[in-house]
Structure 1
Amino acid sequence: MMQQTIALETAGGLLQSLGTAQFTSRLWSWLHGVVDPCCYHMTALRFRRGSQQPAVEQLDVLFFAGNADPEETRLALSLYQQDMEWKQDRQLLQFIEQVQDPQLVLSRNEVYPPTAYGRMIAQSPLGEECSLLGCETDYVYLLSIFRNRHTPSFTLGELSRLRQTCHFLIPLLARHAQLSTPCITPSQDTLLQYFDRCLQLAGKQLSGRERLICHAMLQGWSVPQIAEHVSISQCSVRTYMERALAKIGVTSKSELFAWCVTVEQRHRQPAALS
């Protein structure tokens, strides 16, 4: 069955491109063109399990590709990684902690956490998710293939076809991860750049100090931490914070995240329709 699923030329191209950016584009081209023409997006993750216990210790984002907006995808994955959102998905973690042989997990993605990441995914076109899982040594590799929210669900035949690719794809992901670097590193730069872009799109003007305070908020700093870092009183921090949030039209950090998502969506939709 596998010989009918992937041509030798395609397999050779994937092997030759391991460790390069071409691997991602070739893998997406094959998945979208041959395996699942209805797939909308894909994401590859690597989870590190403890040597003595199966608990997950670390997450790396290896790559992503597809039709989803790349800037929004990068921000969402940054939040998923940095804010430990993946630790909230206990159902998926159970599979990751216990997996020994390649397997497939189907997720409906109908309920999202009330976080910045959850809001972004809820407003995105991402719908049903088919995840291919497999492990090597201390790592578990996950390739998630998403349907568009308005696309019909995976059929049993389609899931069976995807399941057949596990034994070929998991070793490829492991080798690619060894030869390349994760596409997203644990940094807040992506989030702060996204916030600054949303300020520009919305025409909001903040003072340098107000913008600095917002950056610190988005990085999860407390008022005492901000005060110590900026060398001002906690009362002054709260004043700058209230001014900045009032100018933007929100009242809390969670609303600030939601505002960013709304601004980005509102300014991206006209471009997509034109």
Structure 2
Amino acid sequence: MRLLHPDPAAHGHYLVGVRPDTLGAAIRAVGTPDFIGAVTAFVNDSIAADAVHLERWRTDTGSASGHVVEWLGSGSVRRAADTLRVMDLYYHDYCHVDPLFAPLRGKAGTLLVQRHIDGLANGEFRRRIFDEPGIAQECVLVHGNAHVQYALGLARAGGQAAFTTDELFHFRQMVDLLFPMFELHARTYAARRVASAAPNALSHAGQAGFDARLERQDVQLSRREHEICRLMLCGRSVPEAAQQLDVKLSTAESYVKRAFAKLGVRTRRELFDWVLVDC
């Protein structure tokens, strides 16, 4: 493992040791589905991580939380499918209630934070996101300004050694190399999930009521029509739903138009009322 290398000409500053091939692979993958995998490989050159996560936070006065959280992707060199499943759950249900990040959002500059599972209260969040997938610790590097921030998280499974001071210092030095790429990637590639805590989103029970009423009314929605209605009931806007479903905005609007015609509603407010009428 290569960590920090003193730079004799830098008067106490350090240079990050990197492999040109893995750094080059990350640069070439910007704006493509391979980017997160390339970043995962680059990070694991010097810091062992069971999972790597990348997200962006943007201020949004229309959101209940004041921020929109965009999951730009996750990677793992060992268990990619499990990592994606857990993180999809995290960004669907828990990212806005995660106590680690609330005080960091909107802070300008660079922040490095750590978390160990022993510091988490017992409950559904810990069980589903940490205990069941076997994650014991993580460190997160956050960089940006009051309006836009990027967060790169590294996670380790139980039984692994704690992140060392040298590893954390090395991680901190990656800001100048990686974060400009994150910004370019976010501009050219859709987020995997856009999580916006909307004040009028239905609870899980209310969303289940949507499915129940569809069955009672014998309304047949296509898979995509059903997905976009559920996203809107979660508080997503149509553009956010389009990003999450990875379709064009015009295509998402067509799904909405067809679904609303079948349901006999004209607006999202009427969609909420249609679900709640029998709840």
Counterpart mapping for 1:238-257 below 5 A: none
What secondary structure is seen at the aligned counterpart in 2 of 1:102? strand
Identical-pair percentage: 17
User: What letter is aligned with 1:102?
Assistant: T
* Corresponding pairs, count: 197
1:69 equivalenced with 2:54 (yes/no): no
Would you say the 8 A contact 1:51–1:138 is kept in 2?
no
Q: Residues 3 and 21 (structure 1 numbering): CA distance in 2 closer, same or farther, change over 3 Å? A: farther
Q: Residues 87 and 223 (structure 1 numbering): CA distance in 2 closer, same or farther, change over 3 Å? A: closer
Q: TM-score, normalised by structure 2?
A: 0.60
CA distance in 2, matches of 1:23, 1:183: 12
CA distance in 2, matches of 1:21, 1:226: 32
Would you say the 8 A contact 2:71–2:191 is kept in 1?
yes
Q: Which residue of 2 aligns with 1:15?
A: 27
CA distance in 2, matches of 1:13, 1:224: 47
CA distance in 1, matches of 2:104, 2:167: 21
User: What letter is aligned with 1:95?
Assistant: L
Q: Alpha-carbon deviations, 1:174-231, whole Å to 9, x = none? A: 1111111123467xxxxxxxxxxxxxxxxxxxxxxxxxxxxxxx95436755543322
Q: Which residue of 2 aligns with 1:211?
A: none
CA distance in 1, matches of 2:96, 2:123: 14
What secondary structure is seen at the aligned counterpart in 2 of 1:80? helix
Would you say the 8 A contact 1:74–1:184 is kept in 2?
no
Would you say the 8 A contact 1:131–1:142 is kept in 2?
yes
Q: Residues 26 and 222 (structure 1 numbering): CA distance in 2 closer, same or farther, change over 3 Å? A: closer
Q: Residues 220 and 6 (structure 1 numbering): CA distance in 2 closer, same or farther, change over 3 Å? A: farther
CA distance in 2, matches of 1:89, 1:151: 23
Q: Which residue of 1 aligns with 2:262?
A: none
1:24 equivalenced with 2:26 (yes/no): no
Q: Alpha-carbon deviations, 1:14-49, whole Å to 9, x = none? A: 22221113322222112112x21x221111111222
User: What letter is aligned with 2:166?
Assistant: G
Give the CA deviation at 1:164.
0.8
Give the CA deviation at 1:7.
4.5
Q: Which residue of 1 aligns with 2:206?
A: 221
CA distance in 2, matches of 1:3, 1:161: 9
1:230 equivalenced with 2:215 (yes/no): yes
CA distance in 2, matches of 1:126, 1:144: 12
Q: Which residue of 2 aligns with 1:40?
A: 50
CA distance in 2, matches of 1:172, 1:68: 24
Would you say the 8 A contact 1:41–1:147 is kept in 2?
yes
What secondary structure is seen at the aligned counterpart in 2 of 1:161? helix
Would you say the 8 A contact 2:72–2:192 is kept in 1?
yes
User: What letter is aligned with 1:100?
Assistant: A
Bigger mean CA deviation after superposition, 1-10 or 144-153:
1-10
Work out which of the residue numbers 101, 108, 112 in structure 1 matches 2:116: 108
What secondary structure is seen at the aligned counterpart in 2 of 1:71? helix
Q: Residues 219 and 70 (structure 1 numbering): CA distance in 2 closer, same or farther, change over 3 Å? A: farther
CA distance in 2, matches of 1:80, 1:32: 23
What secondary structure is seen at the aligned counterpart in 2 of 1:74? helix
Counterpart mapping for 1:68-107 below 5 A: 69-83=79-93, 85-97=94-106, 99-107=107-115
CA distance in 1, matches of 2:86, 2:20: 35
CA distance in 2, matches of 1:117, 1:108: 11
User: What letter is aligned with 1:105?
Assistant: V
Give the CA deviation at 1:156.
1.0
CA distance in 2, matches of 1:45, 1:94: 16
CA distance in 2, matches of 1:9, 1:136: 31
Structure with the higher helix share, 1 or 2: 1
User: What letter is aligned with 1:106?
Assistant: Q
Work out which of the residue numbers 185, 190, 195 in structure 2 matches 1:176: 185
